Structure 1
Amino acid sequence: MPNKEVTYTISELADEFDITPRSIRHYEDLGLLLPRRKGNNTRIYSHKDRIRLSLTLRGKRLGFSLAEIRELFDLYDAEHRSRPQLHSMIAMIDEKRASLRQQQEDIAKVLAELEAADIRAKETLEKMKPHT
């Protein structure tokens, strides 16, 4: 029995990831997705395209730009990985990791400040209650 590759339509991917077909076409225009064409320009997306779409959306949530995501894909896809490419990829990952850690620290500080403000506001309200 022949091994049939799993494929997806643009509508299937849009529904699965809750995004618009236009977004998927945009990612394709940027080279993040590389679907095959069939007949009258119908796009056929592979399992690899589905994974790349998932990684693209995750990368965006983590603060990577589409250009950075494309660069990571290009580095990963390079047929002959070179030391400079790998060093570039590691540097980009280190930079993003540092940025996310800083954001994490900032979020923790803001949450602590909000908690303190909440406590003070509740204490002030308690003091304002009429005594019976």
Structure 2
Amino acid sequence: MTVNVYMIFNGNCEEAVAYYAKVFDAELAEFSRFGDMPSEPGQEMPEEMKSRIMHASLDIHGSTIMFSDAMSDAPIAFGKNINVTVISDDLHKMTEEFNRLAQEGKVQMALQETFWSLGYGIVEDKYGVVWMFSHNDGQQ
């Protein structure tokens, strides 16, 4: 059994998935679009929804992160109800990823040594998603 994070975007999901794939050196996922879905009689897909992403996923450090666009008539307040946590034993790689997100984002807590970790930091990315990074060398 697993628990996965599902991020919902307001029409810029494809751009966000490409961005996260680059930040985390993850293989770019295939996209399923709402326009690929068979339509029910009398319930045709609105034209503005057809190019939006219905589902995509990335493998980031062995965890599946899933993505979708919201329906165009139901935008969401994104990023305020979820934090994504990256836990790594590779401090160097973790620092690089933190810094990539920080380039266009906003650092809430600089990546630094704490009493529980050699590296812990919080950054809000350019989409408003809050990412917490925590180094775990297996000895804590």
Q: Specify the TM-score bucket, using the shorter chain as the normaliser.
A: under 0.3
Q: Larger relative CO (CA 8 A, sep 6+): 1 or 2?
A: 2
Q: Which structure's CA Rg is the greater one?
A: 1
More helix by share: 1
TM-score by length of 2: 0.20
TM-score by length of 1: 0.21
More strand by share: 2
